[in-house]
Structure 1
Amino acid sequence: MHLDEIGFFMFKKIMQGAVMALSLMAAGAALAQWQWVDESGKKVYSDRPPPITVPESNILKSPKGAPSAPTPRVVEPAAQAGSESPEQALAPKQAESVQEDAELKVKAEQLKNKEAEASSKESAEVAQKNAQIEKDNAAARQRNCTNARNRLAQLEPGKRVMTTGADGAVGFMDDKTRAAEHKTAQEMMQANCR
């Protein structure tokens, strides 16, 4: 190999390397479809959209047909006079929320107490009605017991019991009817006399 050939071979290799480097740079630039200036003033190239903290005015390039960048949140320094931190801004809302929670708890407790009071009142009314029914039933049993005893006394053997028929004719009770009436009176005494 001659010196000219070596030089040409070297030149060819250098040119191939340069072309390859330029292709890679072009490919990298083709991938980096977003360009913006960050907080420190440096240009940033990326295939992803910039962070939400980057104002739209700092976005230099965006892909064709891509949705606009997210609306930036304006972050103001808390040290400026007359500004408050996010925690300070949220404090009144949190206090209001706590107050609402406390009011809801009080209302729920009041409703619970009202329901318990109504239930207690209803239970007392039911108990009073049941007591009255029991009292009325006891009085009815006492009357039935007295009537059954009186009827048994009338139906004692050896006594004649007068009856009136459907046609108004007066007669005396036969032994078969007397036995049936006696049995009924005894059953009434067992059920009502305690």
Structure 2
Amino acid sequence: MPMSSFVPVRLGVPLVAVLLAFVAAGDAQAQWKWRDRSGQIHVSDLPPPRDVADKDVLQRPATASRPAPPPAPAPEGDDAAAPAAPPAEAKPRVDPELEARRKAAEQEQLARQKQEEAKLAQQRAENCDRARAHLRQLESGMRMARVNDKGERIIIDDKERASEMQRARQVIASDCR
């Protein structure tokens, strides 16, 4: 086989492969182009946010769906007196799996909140019981002692007893509802 006929075939295969790659990449790199409220132009492979007006979308990919044309005006005549039905708003398609995940996450968050509220209510009830018991002990007039930082026992005098009773009453007022 002559060498000259083999060279073009060997160069043609990679060239065809490169051309096919460019053709296939055209659809994969579909671009959106839009102008935001501040006038800045954005280019992305994702569609613009919903708050961008249709007139500000400068370029759509070829596969993107066009917005529906505005509804035609109502015909005049006998039907003119009948009120026009409000245009049906197109609901965006929702992925059922995504919606199920969202609902599950909401339910999980509500369950955590209820659990946290129950835990706080239990803590309040325990604080209430302790404060009431402490107040009863203080009001009994029994001699009470406390241990200071040095480990020494100190007998509570009437002034300390009154301040402890006031603190216990405040806890009871806040936690015993």
TM-score, length of structure 2 as denominator length: 0.45
Give the helix-richer structure, 1 or 2. Answer: 1
* Larger Rg computed on CA atoms: 1
